[in-house]
Structure 1
Amino acid sequence: MSSSVSTATITPRTSNKSGDIMNNTAGKEEASPAGDGGADYDRFFWTYTEEPHRSRRQAIIKAHPEVLKLCGPEPLTFPLVLAVVSLQVFCAYALRDTAVLSWPYFLTAYVVGATANQNLFLAIHEITHNLAFKSPLANRLLAVVANLPIGIPYSASFRPYHLTHHKSLGVDGLDTDLPTALEAWFLDSVAGKAFFATFQILFYALRPMMVYQLPLTWIHAFNVVAQLAFDYILVKYVGGRALGYLIMSSFLAGSLHPCAGHFIAEHYVFGQHSRSLDAAAAKTAAPEETYSYYGVLNFFTYNVGLHNEHHDFPAIPWTRLWKLNEIANEFYRDLPCHHSWVGVIWQFILDKEVGLWCRVKRKEGGRKVGGTAGHAQPMN
């Protein structure tokens, strides 16, 4: 049984010499919802129906109502966050007298620090969905704690932007995970994509503020004050190299690091995915816009690789996503997926048919999640 998802109308796309589907290069003005830029400036996959996760969630619940029992907090998240925070503080202390421009410093930051901070990024992702505690306040406070070894305050701002990503997947102007047309045009080369992959953590940090700004709340202020206090104490009593290690770990975690492959793997359309549509379907259906990865790196990343499963059921925590896949396997087994995050980064940079244009976009739908409002996960 294949998954039940909404079909979508997309703007026409050209094909390469072998007939494989490529990015949207429609020449008609009405085919480019972005407007004035036209086909040469806008080659995203534009679709006009809702994102597929809601309809698949409804179908899964109808076929397997027991999956709803998987929803709810995972107590293991709390001690795991404390363990990784402690590990990073220990490493920062251990490197306090090590030269920054030395192999021990860099390799520790890349192998241990970047993996640990990527783990904390994704712990904050879990906590954003209120999956560590039942109490929303307890989740927000734990996110601030998980943020400490990252060195820069971001957990409070990440929450509303990320929940909007779920509520408004692919919606232009709301989903800040989407690259802008300017980014896609300017970085449309091997060098540009290599630059993006190297500095993607900065794009994900700065792009949301350029798309729309959030109202500042007490949790934002608390996040900033707590982080600055932690950084000050670390520098004063351990030294600047300790804080430098944490900042370098965060940068490397979102750069050319195996675990960073998930940023690109989750929603970019690759050639092997678009080619899964036959010629007839290509005229009426958009390519899949979310992709899972079932490899070993999920062990370090809160199973974020199970990304179709996560978007279908954001209220199911990381420890139960595999169970969801097992119960509703007929909905997932035929979906295109990735087999290597390293391979994703490599192909993204070198493949001329892959780039920042390769995202599914829609003009309407969804809603913005802002302030401190609770996250209500629709279940029907």
Structure 2
Amino acid sequence: MTTTRYGVIGCGMMGQEHLRNIALLPEAEVAAIFEPDPAMAAAAQALAPGTVMAESVEALLAEPELDCLLIASPNFRHVEQMERIAATKPLPLLVEKPLFTDPAHQSRIEALMARYPAPVWVAMEYRYMPPIAALLAEVEQATGGVRMLTIREHRFPFLHKVGAWNRFNRYTGGTFVEKCCHFFDLMRHILKSEPVRIMASGGQAVNHMDEDYEGQRPDIADHGYVIVEFASGVRAMLELCMFAEGARYQEEVVAVGPMGKIEALVPGPGRFWPADLGAPPVPQLIVSPRQPKGPETREIPVDPTLLEAGDHNGSTYFQHLEFLHLVRGTRTAPDVSLRDGLISVLMGQAAQESMATGKAVDLRLSTEN
């Protein structure tokens, strides 16, 4: 097998996680990187020594023998960079979430959907976390068909990023877009139905209140609730709190149906777990049938090498394995399409609107597959 060569755009915190995981992949390497921030570029080069450090997106695309591309730049850069790639070198592409942040850019994403000639995979890593993957494999059998779905994330505040772009709605699309598109994607994936109505309440209560960036105070929300009604009649709820890093588990996914309940419990990044408390928590899957009663709890351990490579319970590695099958032609379609990425953002934007107005927002999803 020949080595698959990646070109990478953006190597901040998430981009560097991708670099560490690509280094673990069989017959894959990072051939070229574009990262404009000097400190981030130096960190990226240390992780991928010998890689060509391009001075622009255009210079990266001019590199010969690239097999695929990865976009891990700040959210608000994704659309323009995808358009440049489409016009210059439309290789198979893995693009970080959220796909876009500005509602005015929806038509540009739809144009890319219509004309981009190679497969595009939107990086919804949470699908590939081992405990969530275990839930996905058993959810129908355990529940007899999901009738209620709850996702809770109790976590740490937004980390510091270059230029503090993740402190402002205008760059992120808002917390329900930036952070929660993962969860809206999971809802659709689990329920196999489309959202029709969204209600949200939330705001900024604790985090970043005393920060100031050239006279501008962050306006990013740090907590909220979102209820989503689906065309199937099923309801789902998201509970987000970004000042709850003391919790044992960071994510909890709970699905309930006429036959029982199934839960996936996911700890946060091990590097944040206090050493004096011993070993970090191990992910769990809990299946609770209605008859006979008696919850079954299983630990779903993650390879320590993968935990060391990133903050997402090994999911970045497993996602790349599947993306490589796409690049190498051993599978024909991405797990997470441009349409999936688009709808996850539309759901987040509807939640942002509902939070701002206090009104439910109806969704009309007319975009073709």
Q: Give the TM-score range, shorter chain.
A: under 0.3
TM-score, length of structure 1 as denominator length: 0.27
More relative contact order in 1 or in 2 (CA 8 Å, sep 6+)?
A: 1
> Which protein is richer in helix relative to its size?
1
TM-score, length of structure 2 as denominator length: 0.27
